[in-house]
Amino acid sequence: MESKYIDHLFRHHSGKMVSVLTRIFGLSNLNIIEDAVQDTFIKASISWRLQQPENPEAWLTKSAKNRVIDILRKLKKEKTYLPEIHKGTVTIAINKLFLDTEIEDAQLRMIFTACHPDLNSTDRISFALKTVSGFSIKEISSALLTKEDTIKKRLFRARTAIQKSQLKFNIPQGKALPNRLESVMEVLYLIFNEGFHSNNKEELIRQDLCGEAMRLCKLLLKNKHTRTSASYALYALMCFHSARLSAKINTNNELLDLKHQDRTQWYFPLIELGNMMMNKAVENLELSCYHYEATIASEHIRASSFEDTNWNKILIWYQKLHDLKPMPSHILTMAVVCMQQQDYITAKTYLDQISPDDFQQRAYLYYGTLSDYYINANQLEKALIQIDKALATVTNLLEKDFLEKKRQMLSEPKKN
């Protein structure tokens, strides 16, 4: 049994199991619950070496339910957490908790618990990525552009805050809902981004993460309390980006930028679904950052070729997005857009407003863009310096190969 397959199953099922077990045992037993889920997958990795079960998902579910019973017996014996177990859960049969509708409800509760205001804003995101979607500490570090030791501290603080505050495992109602929902959508956005443009060394695209983010976002749309214009816009954005995934890498496993992608490979049913979601998203005048990002993505999709892209519109939408939610990445992208318009003076003005430190693990994006500026300014020596800096900081092998080929092209004229 390949470890990648176990990893795939862990990604898709660990969050479900943690959520259901938390509904049974309560948030105070979260450490025990996560250990139980980990044990289930360790058992799978050993048991499946010789023979894979006919239905792996059913095997995991059964093992998880058996583990629930084991923990229940242990807790009854120790009589330590028995009151918590019987708190509102004795009337719910364990089998029923593993029905699809109950799993979805439990996961939605877990997402909102992770985004509780008693948790620090940065801690919420780390905790949700770890608990809801089974991210490793390294993956969370990559997604949040933060050191692994910092992520460990955030996870510890989140669990400590949950214990002290005795948080309820539910979906907030009334005035408490909007802020929590905003935090939830931010987490789903980060999960999707890590799939769409991963910092993983070997893989640039991780479709399982994109699919997980879309699945969780769909949970928001199924619930009448969390079905908002912003959540529709977020789902539309995910659809538009996912439609282009197959065109990002060619048959030689080479990274293709937007200019060189084969647009006939874009998956148009997802584009149509994204358009439907955007129609829902604009039924009222409440505009979020996801509305603007989805609109930008739709502009790229609307263009029949790279040359037909309406860069003026895209720049306007980015300016509105940056006004709503200022971020260094928005400024960097506006510089890129200006270079597409051959407005290099404005592009440099944008680049001067930011620094590589603003991007931490993705500093190579800044260096690469600055290199493009110097290429257009016919300052090839400076361009090569920036590409070398990009090569020194990039981690993904496909992106490194892309930059190396770009450097080689710049160096060739000097040899002739």
- pLDDT tens digits, 320-331: 999 999 999 999
Residue 83 lies in a domain: yes
Residue 182 to residues 165, 185, 241, 291, 294: CA-CA distances in angstroms?
21, 5, 21, 13, 16
Residue 55 lies in a domain: yes
CA-angle at 198, arms to 209 and 48, nearest 5°: 50
Per-residue model confidence (pLDDT) at position 44: 84
- Buried b / exposed e along 218-254 (16+ C-beta atoms within 10 A): ebbbeeeebebbbbbbbbbbbbbbbbbbebbbeeeee
Residue 120 lies in a domain: no
Residue 115 to residues 8, 77, 161: CA-CA distances in angstroms?
25, 34, 12
Run of H or E residues at 177 = helix 177-196
Per-residue model confidence (pLDDT) at position 312: 97
Q: Which domain holds residue 7?
A: 1-98
> For the chain, which residues score pLDDT lower than 70?
1-4, 11, 72, 75-95, 97-98, 143, 145, 198-203, 413-416
Placement of tokens 């408490």 in the chain: 176
What is this structure's pTM? Answer: 0.83
Per-residue model confidence (pLDDT) at position 370: 97
Domain count, the chain: 1
Encode pLDDT of 253-285 as tens digits.
788 889 999 999 999 999 999 999 999 999 988
Residue 136 lies in a domain: no
Tokens representing 317?
């939408």
Per-residue model confidence (pLDDT) at position 41: 84
Per DSSP, the chain holds a count of helices (H) and strands (E) of 20, 0
Residue 322 lies in a domain: no
Residue 357 lies in a domain: no
